[in-house]
Chain A
């Protein structure tokens, strides 16, 4: 199926039979691919398919067990990232490694082997940021930057090394549509200069728009290659999954009574670099899914906590079916049917070192009657955990396994299943499918739709706009702690959503210098 023959000497990077095994799992099994100069090459695959391991080997973070790499015709085996960078490979990670208390130029200098004088560096940063249309002020504190701006810091850090190959791991997951547009213009310009880009993303539409070529990995093996421009997103998803993809079905609904209502609520930020909520108005009907879009860090955690009861409010500002609940804590709200699934799986939704049974008790104690007069019924709790594991297809050796030993996707299924199985009347979920692979994400979305069809009011907070469009009845955007007025989701275009997300003030259109 590889219609594109690799021509020796012309490829920038050729990978031949790369293999890497970890105890109990072969992360990469004889993977071969080649990247041409000026090509945007997509790496596709579900979680655990081996994408990260592969790029880590290219970047010198992981040493392959077998296989060879050739970079510009010469053998390439970087022992460490520094060697890879010296050869011309740069990488932008999904999670930024930046210090919030330092400014942009200082952060960039920290990542350089021989940083120039700060004044020269600032000038270089300005120059590069203008050339590539990445607006950034070298003197600004990173703590004050949006996620998109932070990513620009990372990209500029890479560009200062004049890379031949730029690896980007899930670069758009934290960006608004406008920021994505800016990023794509930058990448187009880099491509025009002959820089190759290895692009990892779950967002298939993006890949169709941007990439010239795609390699699909499944369970560590290369299973397909394709030209994304000629495939549908669904076809590519099925290559990744290796089977037919179940797409959640949405049924039409009738207007019903309001279940949850928040009026004119202000919440002050709890920590430095936290977000305060300003004048939040929100109402969700029974059987309705309200989608809240926006980039994480704009008050998503705070909004979720306001509904869950982790942040208390003036009593009358949060109402459940007309009754004030603002002063009730999480367990009192659970008793009334208000349940939540926070974004951070390890450490917030679940205690990392505790077993799944103990984590089932964490939020299930009240509604499932797992305790009486303070005494825990461990037998019943274990049964409850087993029920979650079975019903939501959580892959784990036993309910006694520690939460941190589960993969991200499996733990996500557990923490969402744990709440859904308790039959909430109001359910707020923050980033329901973050880091979850396509088939599990589809299952979670279907479970949310089923829950709504059964009459629950659901608030879904997500950065994934495609997801929100797929399941929401109404859509609102959360930006810098302000929630826009919700609108009907049906028929909403990406441009309209972009405007609602409203981060427009720091989104000057990319000023790509014409050369």
Chain B
């Protein structure tokens, strides 16, 4: 019989290799799924993982896209990881992302058509503030009234979506847009445009912000008391209280930081790759970032790699549905498998498999 035996302490080796194992398992199970759909599994997997980066025909377009897609995922996931490690479950990053985009865009549009170097920094600040304040709603409700932050933050996503629609149709609608929904396009407003810093690389300010966030988060977790307290609160809440952690302060810090980073991601997206506030501006980065955070083991460096991998499956998935006619639902299932396998093999970090007779009941 196969039994699971608890390890005396978590295995460092398995912590490192379980994500790789999960990716391999996803490729196998995903390949089976593609085969059942009548597609050649090897070509499908190659189209998703290899072609976007190295196929001469597609790489020129796909490679910059990698950074564009990965940046918001990494930025949001880094913030979420802080909360997740502390046991504060912000599921509503999508809403904070939308509110950050709206606030930042609103500040930028308010200055139109003035040109000034101060406009973009102001928009960045407003974007972060928008996400921060939106995340403070579940934060303050949790601290004051012990509401569940999972439900509140999640439901606020739908509120944010309605606000987005109303902004795109109302207050922020382009006055010169012939009545079409959507704001002015920031591509036509240089002071507010989040342009590529190096041509054809996809590198924009959001990518820089994501890297800075990863570095800061790394230092926070490894060297700073706040990071220590976050880990402590997540692992042993009573020990955290004994160690002098104030739960309310920690909850507000984690929600606030993740909200602000999600807001930043929204702002960089709306002022750059997306270009405008539109009804369907958000594409689910806030939810996908949850997968990225766990795929990266809630570790900033891991999140950096996981964000790039996830972006790759997005781009590769689009390519596969375009080239091979794989339905987009299958691509989403493929991404879901990744999280599923990751959580499934995670058990090996804390348990070892033993073959043999079961002895202890």
Contacts and interface: CB of A to CB of B under 8 A. Distances in A.
A350 B239 contact: yes
Nearest to A359: B239
B226 interface: yes
Interface in A352-367: 352-354, 358, 361-363, 365-366
A351 B235 contact: yes
A242 to B, nearest CB: 27
Contact of A330 (B10, B243, B361): B243
B225 A405 contact: no
Contacts of B225: 365, 371, 374-376
B328 to A, nearest CB: 40
A61 B9 contact: no
Contact of A352 (B235, B244, B246, B361): B235
B239 A351 contact: yes
Contacts of A371: 225
Interface in A306-341: 308-310, 329-332, 334, 340
B238 A374 contact: no
Contacts of A375: 223-225
B236 A374 contact: no
Nearest to B220: A374
A371 B238 CA distance: 22
Contact of B235 (A340, A354, A374): A354
A47 B246 CA distance: 36
Given A308-B242, A362-B242, A376 B10 contact: no
Interface in B99-130: none
Contacts of B240: 351
Interface in A104-146: none
A66 B243 CA distance: 47
B234 to A, nearest CB: 10
B8 A344 contact: no
A481 interface: no
Nearest to A365: B225
Contact of B242 (A63, A348, A352, A404): A348
A343 B223 CA distance: 29
B242 A342 contact: yes
A375 B225 CA distance: 6
A402 B9 CA distance: 6
Given A348-B238, A352-B235, A80 B361 contact: yes
B228 A361 contact: yes
A374 B226 contact: yes
Given A361-B228, A365-B225, A347 B9 contact: no
Given A62-B359, A354-B235, A371-B225, A405 B9 contact: yes
Contacts of A401: 9
Nearest to A377: B223
A258 B360 CA distance: 53
A310 B226 contact: no
B232 interface: yes
A353 B242 contact: no
A238 to B, nearest CB: 32
A375 B361 CA distance: 46
B243 A362 contact: yes
B297 to A, nearest CB: 14
Contact of B9 (A344, A348, A404): A404
A405 B236 contact: no
B242 A310 contact: yes
A469 B124 CA distance: 67
A17 interface: no
Nearest to A346: B236
Interface string A361-390: 111011000010011101000000000000
Contacts of B242: 308, 310, 330, 340, 342, 348-349, 362-363
How many residues of A sit at the interface, in one of the four size bands?
35 or more
B337 to A, nearest CB: 28
A81 interface: yes
B244 A347 contact: no
Interface in B334-361: 359-361
B8 A405 contact: yes
B244 A349 contact: no
Interface in A393-421: 401-402, 404-405
A329 B8 CA distance: 33
B241 interface: yes
Contacts of A342: 238, 242
B127 to A, nearest CB: 26
B353 to A, nearest CB: 15
Nearest to B359: A63
Contacts of B243: 330-331, 362-363, 365
A362 B239 contact: yes
A362 B246 CA distance: 14
Nearest to B350: A353
A309 B246 CA distance: 11
Contacts of A347: 236, 238-239
Contact of B228 (A81, A329, A334, A358): A358
Nearest to A23: B5
Contacts of A81: 361
A109 to B, nearest CB: 21
A371 B10 CA distance: 26
A330 B9 contact: no
A347 B232 CA distance: 10
A80 B225 CA distance: 48
A348 B225 CA distance: 18
B236 A334 contact: no
Given A347-B238, A349-B239, A374-B225, A329 B10 contact: no
Contacts of B10: 353, 402
Which of B239, B241, B246, B360 has the largest number of chain A CB atoms within 10 A? B239
A411 to B, nearest CB: 12
A62 to B, nearest CB: 6
A192 B21 CA distance: 63
Contacts of A374: 224-226
Contacts of A365: 225, 243
A374 B219 CA distance: 11
A306 B239 CA distance: 15
A334 B10 CA distance: 31
A348 B228 contact: no
A348 B231 CA distance: 14
B47 to A, nearest CB: 41
Contacts of B360: 61-62
Contacts of B239: 347-351, 362
Interface string B234-272: 011011111110100000000000000000000000000
A327 to B, nearest CB: 13
Contact of A344 (B232, B235, B238, B246): B238
Which of A62, A351, A365, A375 has the largest number of chain B CB atoms within 10 A? A351
Contacts of A350: 236, 239
Contacts of A376: 223-225, 228
A63 to B, nearest CB: 5
A375 B240 CA distance: 18
A140 B226 CA distance: 46
16 contacts: A61-B360, A81-B361, A330-B242, A330-B243, A348-B236, A349-B242, A350-B236, A353-B9, A354-B232, A354-B235, A361-B228, A363-B243, A374-B226, A402-B8, A402-B10, A405-B8
Given A330-B243, A365-B225, 15 more contacts: A61-B361, A81-B361, A308-B242, A329-B244, A349-B239, A354-B231, A354-B236, A362-B239, A362-B242, A365-B243, A374-B225, A375-B225, A401-B9, A404-B8, A405-B8
By Cβ-Cβ distance, the 7 closest A-B pairs, closest first, are A331-B244, A402-B9, A351-B236, A405-B8, A330-B244, A348-B238, A362-B243
